[in-house]
Structure 1
């Protein structure tokens, strides 16, 4: 049970330390991504003594054509929805001044911002999917049904996103954004279970994150 708690709450704790205690997006990302990458690697390779090939297979890092195409198609739809919602509802979703102040306080500004944007578009979807759908979901399936495992992993995937979206959006849209994150987690978990591959979820997630960063570039930066 202790290990399960670490898996479920660890990412939220790491991101919370970076944002709430240190007040820094870069430091929060560093702690967060070290956890996302480090725990699956340590567990599979050191504790379980899997080979790299066994670990990669366990995480679902294998090509599945139909899953990859479905991930690309769904990701483009999500990207279009994000851009459409932002363009038509911008004044209702965000307070531009307060949002810029918040992001500046978090350290999301200055010369390091382009690198951070690249990290959020490329590295973030890979590590989040590896952790939640490649690792945690598989561990939960050993204790419960696949449907329950998808729900539980999606719930805890959503929790730390609330640390970000609730302050960013005007009320009550932060909580609605949290529901959207939960829905995305359910879909990506289902894709992982159905296909046995993680690549479709990664690609879909990457396109969704790209949409968010495009909105940032168009309306906030």
Structure 2
């Protein structure tokens, strides 16, 4: 089955919005981190790319997968992925520190996470899951699957649209945890991070480059979660 151009674009938009719908359903309506992770990671991050590839013709898929030659810049790509995460790690911790300094109560965040089902004894395991699994599956969906298909609209449009979808569900999470006054600034920061990681993926062609960079921000979130909230 071949997907026509207009149908394909509508599908891509639906895919981009699916993450926000799942987060809204899982966290804000069902109040469950477990359900949210289940539907987001299995249903959206893994399910959408898998189903979409079944809808594509083998010829189109072959054309997409052709540029898989080994890059002589692999060492540089690995270095950039690791080193670019350092300022992101520092910026993430500084931003969270600023939020708490503005008067946001960590006890409120802890209570909200508790309502969502995150017990104190599971915080460490949750943080590890966030760092390794969540960061990879997000990159797999946004920079691995969706970005390269959005490039049919143009490189700039693909980066901006992909980053917008990426930031949208983070807006829902940030507003619920830190309040409306911090929801938009955090979403803006996530949008900029999405632009940066998209550029890394397009520049080096390797998913591990933005993933390594992304991973460090989730390490910062886990450090804040363990030391400042719980």
- TM-score norm. by structure 1 comes to 0.88
User: Partners in 2 of 1:93 and 1:174 — Cα distance?
Assistant: 15
CA, structure 1 residues 56+36, in 2 after alignment: closer, same or farther (shift >3 Å)? Answer: farther
What does 1:181-220 correspond to in 2, within 5 Å?
181-220=190-229
Aligned-pair distance for 1:155? 0.3
CA distance in 1 between counterparts of 2:200 and 2:38 reads 28
1:30 counterpart = 2:38: yes
Q: Does 1:10 align with 2:13?
A: no
The residue aligned with 2:94 is 84
**Pair 1:108–1:196, CA change in 2 (3 A):** same
Give structure 1 stretches of 5+ with no counterpart: none
More divergent stretch after superposition (151-160 vs 65-74): 65-74
**What is the aligned residue count?**
218
The 2-side partners of 1:185 and 1:36 are apart by: 16
Aligned equivalents of 1:6, 1:20: Cα separation in 2: 20
Please give the alpha-carbon distance, in whole angstroms, between the structure 1 residues aligned to 2:87 and 2:29: 36
Q: CA deviation at 1:19?
A: 0.7
Give the alignment of 1:87-106 within 5 angstroms: 87=97, 90-92=100-102, 94-106=104-116
Q: Give me the whole-angstrom Cα distance separating, in 1, the residues matched to 2:62 and 2:216.
A: 28
1:118 is matched with 128
- Residue 151 of structure 1 is aligned with which of 135, 156, 160? 160
Q: Which runs of 5+ in 2 are unaligned?
A: 1-6
